[in-house]
C-alpha cells in the first residue's frame, strides 16, 4: 500500500501552486523531504493527474531502456530527479540502482532479469479427494499388516544374531566378528544395514569400524622381537612402560601406536608394575639401626629466635 494516495498528492500540489512553499508543506503534512513535494509538482506540470497516480504494478524495464536512460543522464549531466521526470519513472532511486549495477557488473547486469522467468507456469494446487470409510479401513489394515511384518522380521534377525554370537568361542565379541555377522544377516534376510543394526542394537560406528579393520593384517613379529631385545638390555630393569617403549620403538624407525604396544605387552605379560600405587602408606621404620638420638624437642616446635630448632622431613624416592 502506498504511503501517499492520489487525493493527498493533489491537495499538496494545489497548495503549492496557490503560493505555499515546499518546505512549509513538508513540515505541515509530515513529509520527510521537501524534494518529494517538488517532484510531485514537476510530474503534475508535465504529465497532469496521471503523473501523480500510484502504479499498481511495477513496470518491467528492458535492458535497452535502462541503457538509454543512463546515457541520457550522462550526456545532459542531469540529476536523478530530472532523469526520472524526463522518462516518466516514478522513483528516482531506481535509476541510482541501475547506475550502481552498471558500474559493478557492466551492461550484462542491466539486461539480466530478476526473479523467475515470466514463462514459468504456476503450479496448480492438487485436488484432494476425501477417501471413503471403506478405503480408510483398508488403508489402516494395510499399515498394520506392514508394521507386523516389520516387527516379525526384526525379531527373527535378533534371534539369529544371538544364536550366531553364542557359537563363537571367545567370550567377548570383537567389532570384526560383529561386522561379519551383520553381513551374513544381510545376505540371509535381504535387508538393509540400518534395519539389521536396529534389530541387533549395534551402533553404526561399531559396524563400519569392524568392517574397515577386517582387511588389516598386523605383523607383530618384528615388534615383539624388538621389544624382547630391548628388555634384555641392562638399562631396561623392568621399569619401562608401554608409553616409554613406544617412544623407543618410534626412535628406531617403527611406525607404531601406543595402543598396539600395550596390546602386545599385555598378551606377553610384559607390563611394568614398578610404579603401581602402593596399597599401604609409607613407613620409614626399619628396626633398631645405629644410634637412636634423644628426643630433645618433644614436639615443642615454637621458639623465639631463629635457627634454634632445625627439623627435617624424610621422603621416599624410587
Give the ranges where the chain is alpha helix by DSSP (H): 6-17, 22-28, 34-47, 63-76, 80-86, 93-105, 108-111, 133-167, 175-189, 193-200, 204-213, 221-231, 242-251, 258-268
Give dist(CA 47, CA 8) in Å, integer.
Answer: 17
pLDDT score at 27: 84
pLDDT score at 262: 92
pLDDT score at 318: 59
Instruction: For residue 279, give the C-alpha cell.
Output: 596399597
Q: How large is the average pLDDT for residues 83-104?
A: 79
Q: Are 178 and 164 in contact (CB under 8 A)?
A: no
> Does the pLDDT value for residue 57 go beyond 60?
no
Instruction: For residue 296, give the C-alpha cell.
Output: 630433645
Q: How large is the average pLDDT for residues 72-86?
A: 78
pLDDT score at 118: 55
Q: How large is the average pLDDT for residues 4-22?
A: 81
Give dist(CA 176, CA 215) in Å, integer.
Answer: 10
Give dist(CA 222, CA 232) in Å, integer.
Answer: 16
pLDDT score at 171: 65
Confidence of residue 119 (pLDDT cuts 50, 70, 90): low
Average pLDDT for the chain: 80
Q: How large is the average pLDDT for residues 124-143?
A: 80
Range 233-239, long-range pairs (CB < 8 A, 24+ positions): 238/272, 238/274, 239/272, 239/274, 239/275
pLDDT score at 77: 72
Q: How large is the average pLDDT for residues 208-218?
A: 75
pLDDT tens per residue across span 146-179: 899 989 999 999 998 888 888 776 667 788 888 8
Instruction: For residue 133, give the C-alpha cell.
Output: 470409510
pLDDT tens per residue across span 218-239: 678 888 988 888 888 766 666 7
> Does the pLDDT value for residue 124 go beyond 70?
no
Confidence of residue 1 (pLDDT cuts 50, 70, 90): very low
> Does the pLDDT value for residue 16 go beyond 60?
yes
pLDDT score at 90: 73
Amino acid at each position: 500500500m502506498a504511503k501517499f494516495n492520489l487525493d493527498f498528492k493533489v491537495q499538496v500540489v494545489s497548495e503549492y501552486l496557490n503560493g505555499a512553499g515546499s518546505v512549509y508543506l513538508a513540515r505541515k503534512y509530515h513529509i520527510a523531504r521537501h524534494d518529494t513535494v517538488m517532484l510531485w509538482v514537476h510530474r503534475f506540470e508535465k504529465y497532469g493527474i496521471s503523473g501523480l497516480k500510484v502504479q499498481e504494478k511495477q513496470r518491467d524495464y528492458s535492458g535497452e531502456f535502462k541503457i538509454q536512460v543512463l546515457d541520457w543522464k550522462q550526456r545532459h549531466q542531469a540529476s536523478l530527479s530530472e532523469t526520472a521526470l524526463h522518462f516518466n519513472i516514478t522513483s528516482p532511486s531506481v535509476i541510482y540502482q541501475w547506475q550502481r549495477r552498471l558500474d559493478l557488473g557492466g551492461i550484462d547486469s542491466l539486461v539480466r532479469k530478476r526473479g523467475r522467468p515470466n514463462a514459468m507456469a504456476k503450479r496448480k494446487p492438487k485436488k484432494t479427494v476425501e477417501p471413503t470409510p471403506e478405503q480408510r479401513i483398508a488403508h489402516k489394515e494395510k499399515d498394520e499388516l506392514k508394521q507386523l511384518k516389520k516387527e516379525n522380521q526384526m525379531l527373527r534377525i535378533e534371534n539369529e544374531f544371538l544364536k550366531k554370537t553364542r557359537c563363537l568361542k571367545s567370550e567377548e565379541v570383537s567389532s570384526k566378528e560383529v561386522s561379519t555377522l551383520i553381513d551374513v544377516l544381510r545376505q540371509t534376510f535381504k535387508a538393509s544395514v540400518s534395519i539389521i543394526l536396529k534389530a541387533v542394537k549395534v551402533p553404526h560406528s561399531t559396524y563400519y569400524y569392524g568392517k574397515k579393520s577386517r582387511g588389516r593384517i598386523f605383523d607383530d613379529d618384528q615388534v615383539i622381537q624388538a621389544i624382547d631385545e630391548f628388555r634384555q638390555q641392562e638399562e631396561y630393569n623392568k621399569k619401562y612402560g608401554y608409553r616409554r617403549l613406544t617412544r623407543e620403538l618410534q626412535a628406531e624407525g617403527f611406525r607404531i601406536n601406543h595402543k598396539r604396544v600395550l596390546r602386545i605387552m599385555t598378551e606377553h605379560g610384559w607390563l611394568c608394575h614398578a610404579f603401581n600405587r602402593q596399597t599401604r602408606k609409607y613407613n620409614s621404620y626399619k628396626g633398631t639401626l645405629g644410634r637412636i638420638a634423644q628426643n630433645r624437642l618433644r614436639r615443642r616446635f615454637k621458639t623465639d629466635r631463629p635457627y634454634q630448632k632445625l627439623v627435617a622431613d624424610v621422603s621416599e624416592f624410587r
